[in-house]
Chains A and B, each alone.
Chain A
Amino acid sequence: MTVGIVGYGAHLPRHRIKVEEIAKVWGADAPSFKKGLGLVEKSVPAPDEDVITLSVEAARNALVRAGNLDPQKIGCIYIGSESHPYAVKPSGTVVGEAIGAFPGCHVADFEFACKAGSEGMFVAYGLVKAGLVEYGLAIGADTSQGAPGDALEYSAAAGAAAYIMGSKNIVASIDHTYSFTTDTPDFWRREYQHYPQHAGRFTGEPAYFRTVMGASQTLLEQVGMKPADFQWAVFHQPNGKFPMRVGKMLGFTTKQMEQGWLAPRLGNTYSGASPLGLTAILDVAKPGDKIFMCSYGSGSGSDAFVYTVTDRIKEVQGLAPLTTDMLDKNKIYLEYGEYAKFRHKILKAEGV
């Protein structure tokens, strides 16, 4: 039984903050941050946006592209995030209720740093493949945290991507998937900590690059394909530089990667990152196109997928907002003070 994506959707906040605006506050050198991180601005969630609201918007767009699928047919909902609004109480229950999928539905929130979204995609795909559910909804969403003045503050962004997996009316089949996991502690946030900690450059070579290379090379070997066999490729994008560098190390070209390379204008949407890049690719893909995707989550692991786009893609692309439109249009730029308020870095005094 061929299983794959039957509907997909994205949602991005409208607000942005530029690298210069953050650097100005901290007396940092904006050009070196822009060059070092390979990004110019990032998305910022509004005060009334969180992982749940972003997920609902993305899920609704996915349902539309799934041919206005009856939500009651969705047998599982998995939301991957490292910024679930509650430490205890799932995001998935609110999202499932909001889209009308309940009560006959299995729900769980996933967390695996930046790869929790692709993890949900893997599990939903697996349950459909096993015949346990007819349709499964997987969402990668984050309103990620960066401590004031930390390098992460320049990149930690917000966004969501939703995928409905099924075996009928597929827009992109999942041909193969492979996961690569090791105990590599490069980035973490303990309970009660508001901001994550990271091990500086250790997050690069021994963590991101080793893991993404490990997953990607093995998957390519398993399917007997080479980078030139794909029209598109998308990698986890913690900044603008890493995905392009790892893609080129594997043999992919800028042309194959630039459509899904959102980080330079979006920042790092963590669990949403490579799933959002995939939505931007599906928005323009043609029937028969092969897509390579590899996520990365600190700790560390990668989920890699090979997709083949079907004829149905052309019918659904225009049914919901295009990802690059949400990325590039209708933006509202914030000054650091507004940003600090939006992200609860400064709080209004009680009773004022």
Chain B
Amino acid sequence: MRDVAIIGVHVTKCGEIWNKSFRDLFVEAGLGAIKDAGVDHIDSMYIGCMSGGLFVGQEHIGALMADYLGQAPVPATRVESACASGGVALRTGMLDVASGHSDIVLVGGVEKMTDIGGDEATYALATAADQEWEGFNGVTFPGLYAMMAVAHMHRYGTTPQQLASVAVKNHDNGSLNPVAQFPMKITIDAVLNSVLVADPLHILDCSPVTDGAAAAILVPADRVGKLGKKQGVKIIGSGHATDTIALHSRKDLCALEAVSKSAAIAYAMAGKKPTDMDVCEVHDCFTIAEIMAMEALGFFEKGKAGRAVEAGDTRIGGKIPINTSGGLKSKGHPVGASGVSQAVEIVEQLRGESGARQVKGAKVGMTQNMGGTGASSVVHIMEAM
């Protein structure tokens, strides 16, 4: 298997993008990544998209995007793994290059979520849960993550203030990101006084509904500089794991086993450990998700991530800067694109292109992207070349 590097990335503005369609967003991201990489063609495409069917009534997304990107007849595959669609698309594209089947692969992610109303978007997202046991009984993701939060608070003493600290930190980071959907800074009080969605999660504990797209160009690591013009960032670790889809089937409500397993695979492949990471993008669909994911990734002992966030350990300049992009919370969560947009952030960090939110001297970075309540998780570790 060949080593794989990313040589071009692009992420669109995230938010309620009224004047750009589903395909427009993808094409903007794809052309941006192609331009950034400086490649003159691509051999294949993988597109992460959770639910084009429910959000915009469009399926057959691989062919659609290859067509509108002007790349037909290259093979184009839509990858779906709920909110982990983008991360799994990245892994699939990496395997295509690693196998030697393709030399230049475009990996993208796209979601256009605001063409429908809030209730419909909530329904579309809830299809990533176990419909028979969860969705059809009325549970939606805020409710499921709220149960996880309550369990974590009960066992470890995690507090609403610690949850709010995640949101405050991510909005601080997002205020430095020009593509962020909600780049405003917020306070602990603002989070705790915002509308309660599912106790203990307030609206400012939740990531938003977002339109956006992201793309990356992958090539064999030994051909960086030959196939494109940009500095490469090598994917040195990749892990993918699954867990029970229904929350009630988990052995432990306070643990994200798929995250731990996917991280263990990626750490082993990379020959790295948690303390080797300089910067990390974590799947913070809810503030409790960031806390539990950080514990599963091994950055903090179980039950101690909340206190670490409160102490500033995950801020830029802290022990392990988390979600320098603003995360899903502030940058936005275009579900099928989120995993790829995390990779865009880490590539830019490792290239030293992140401006005011740059983590000084970052050499090794990680992305962690998950679907549902953690039934899918995909982790990538990247290193500057």
Residues of A within 8 A of B (CB): 29, 32, 199-202, 205-206
Q: How far is it, in angstroms, between the C-alpha of A343 and the C-alpha of B117 when the chains are bound?
A: 25
- Do A205 and B195 form a contact, CB below 8 Å, given A199-B117, A200-B117, A200-B118? no
Q: How many residues of B sit at the interface, in one of the four size bands? A: under 10
Contact A202 B18 (CB under 8 A): yes
Q: How far is it, in angstroms, between the C-alpha of A205 and the C-alpha of B17 when the chains are bound?
A: 11
Contact B16 A32 (CB under 8 A): no
Contact B18 A206 (CB under 8 A): yes
Residues of B within 8 A of A (CB): 16, 18-19, 114, 117-118, 195-196
Contact A205 B117 (CB under 8 A): no
Chain B residues lying within 8 Å of A29, measured Cβ to Cβ, are: 195-196
Contact A201 B16 (CB under 8 A): yes
Closest 5 CB pairs of A and B: A206-B18, A200-B117, A29-B195, A32-B195, A201-B16
Can you give 14 contacting A-B residue pairs, CB < 8 Å? A29-B195, A32-B195, A199-B117, A200-B114, A200-B117, A201-B16, A201-B114, A202-B16, A202-B18, A202-B114, A205-B16, A205-B18, A206-B18, A206-B19
Q: How far is it, in angstroms, between the C-alpha of A28 and the C-alpha of B385 when the chains are bound?
A: 53
Chain A residues lying within 8 Å of B18, measured Cβ to Cβ, are: 202, 205-206
Chain B residues lying within 8 Å of A32, measured Cβ to Cβ, are: 195
Can you add 9 more A-B contacts, CB < 8 Å, to A200-B117, A205-B16, A206-B19?
Answer: A29-B195, A29-B196, A32-B195, A199-B117, A201-B16, A202-B18, A202-B114, A205-B18, A206-B18
Q: How far is it, in angstroms, between the C-alpha of A299 and the C-alpha of B16 when the chains are bound?
A: 19
Q: How far is it, in angstroms, between the C-alpha of A199 and the C-alpha of B18 when the chains are bound?
A: 11
> Would you give the shortest CB distance from A185 to chain B, in whole angstroms?
12
Chain B residues lying within 8 Å of A201, measured Cβ to Cβ, are: 16, 114
Q: How far is it, in angstroms, between the C-alpha of A202 and the C-alpha of B211 when the chains are bound?
A: 13
Q: How far is it, in angstroms, between the C-alpha of A32 and the C-alpha of B114 when the chains are bound?
A: 21
Q: Across the two chains, which residue of chain A brings its CB closest to B120?
A: A200
B18, B117, B195, B196 — most chain A CB neighbours (10 Å) = B18
Q: How far is it, in angstroms, between the C-alpha of A250 and the C-alpha of B118 when the chains are bound?
A: 30
Q: How far is it, in angstroms, between the C-alpha of A206 and the C-alpha of B17 when the chains are bound?
A: 10
Chain A residues lying within 8 Å of B114, measured Cβ to Cβ, are: 200-202
Q: How far is it, in angstroms, between the C-alpha of A202 and the C-alpha of B196 when the chains are bound?
A: 24
Chain B residues lying within 8 Å of A199, measured Cβ to Cβ, are: 117
Chain B residues lying within 8 Å of A205, measured Cβ to Cβ, are: 16, 18
Q: How far is it, in angstroms, between the C-alpha of A202 and the C-alpha of B117 when the chains are bound?
A: 10
> Would you give the shortest CB distance from B360 to chain A, in whole angstroms?
38
> Would you give the shortest CB distance from A267 to chain B, in whole angstroms?
22
Q: How far is it, in angstroms, between the C-alpha of A205 and the C-alpha of B19 when the chains are bound?
A: 11
Q: Across the two chains, which residue of chain A brings its CB closest to B119?
A: A200
Q: How far is it, in angstroms, between the C-alpha of A259 and the C-alpha of B305 when the chains are bound?
A: 54
Q: Across the two chains, which residue of chain B brings its CB closest to A210?
A: B18
Q: How far is it, in angstroms, between the C-alpha of A205 and the C-alpha of B114 when the chains are bound?
A: 13
> Would you give the shortest CB distance from A271 to chain B, in whole angstroms?
25
Q: How far is it, in angstroms, between the C-alpha of A206 and the C-alpha of B195 when the chains are bound?
A: 26
> Would you give the shortest CB distance from A35 to chain B, in whole angstroms?
10
Q: How far is it, in angstroms, between the C-alpha of A202 and the C-alpha of B114 when the chains are bound?
A: 9
> Would you give the shortest CB distance from A222 to chain B, in whole angstroms?
26
> Would you give the shortest CB distance from B211 to chain A, in whole angstroms?
12
Q: Across the two chains, which residue of chain A brings its CB closest to B117?
A: A200
Q: Across the two chains, which residue of chain B brings its CB closest to A184?
A: B18
Q: Across the two chains, which residue of chain B brings its CB closest to A29?
A: B195
Q: Across the two chains, which residue of chain B brings its CB closest to A28?
A: B195
Q: How far is it, in angstroms, between the C-alpha of A200 and the C-alpha of B19 when the chains are bound?
A: 16
> Would you give the shortest CB distance from B84 to chain A, in whole angstroms?
27
Q: How far is it, in angstroms, between the C-alpha of A166 and the C-alpha of B195 when the chains are bound?
A: 52
> Would you give the shortest CB distance from B115 to chain A, in whole angstroms?
8
Q: How far is it, in angstroms, between the C-alpha of A205 and the C-alpha of B18 when the chains are bound?
A: 9
Q: How far is it, in angstroms, between the C-alpha of A142 and the C-alpha of B123 when the chains are bound?
A: 34
Chain A residues lying within 8 Å of B16, measured Cβ to Cβ, are: 201-202, 205
Q: How far is it, in angstroms, between the C-alpha of A123 and the C-alpha of B118 when the chains are bound?
A: 39
Chain B residues lying within 8 Å of A200, measured Cβ to Cβ, are: 114, 117-118
> Would you give the shortest CB distance from B192 to chain A, in whole angstroms?
14
Q: How far is it, in angstroms, between the C-alpha of A201 and the C-alpha of B114 when the chains are bound?
A: 9
> Would you give the shortest CB distance from B210 to chain A, in whole angstroms?
13
Chain B residues lying within 8 Å of A206, measured Cβ to Cβ, are: 18-19
Chain A residues lying within 8 Å of B118, measured Cβ to Cβ, are: 200
Chain A residues lying within 8 Å of B196, measured Cβ to Cβ, are: 29
Q: How far is it, in angstroms, between the C-alpha of A201 and the C-alpha of B18 when the chains are bound?
A: 10
Q: Across the two chains, which residue of chain B brings its CB closest to A201?
A: B16
Q: How far is it, in angstroms, between the C-alpha of A20 and the C-alpha of B98 when the chains are bound?
A: 61
Q: How far is it, in angstroms, between the C-alpha of A199 and the C-alpha of B117 when the chains are bound?
A: 7
Q: How far is it, in angstroms, between the C-alpha of A80 and the C-alpha of B19 when the chains are bound?
A: 31
Chain A residues lying within 8 Å of B195, measured Cβ to Cβ, are: 29, 32
Q: Across the two chains, which residue of chain B brings its CB closest to A200?
A: B117
> Would you give the shortest CB distance from A314 to chain B, in whole angstroms?
46
> Would you give the shortest CB distance from A28 to chain B, in whole angstroms?
9
Q: How far is it, in angstroms, between the C-alpha of A290 and the C-alpha of B196 when the chains are bound?
A: 46
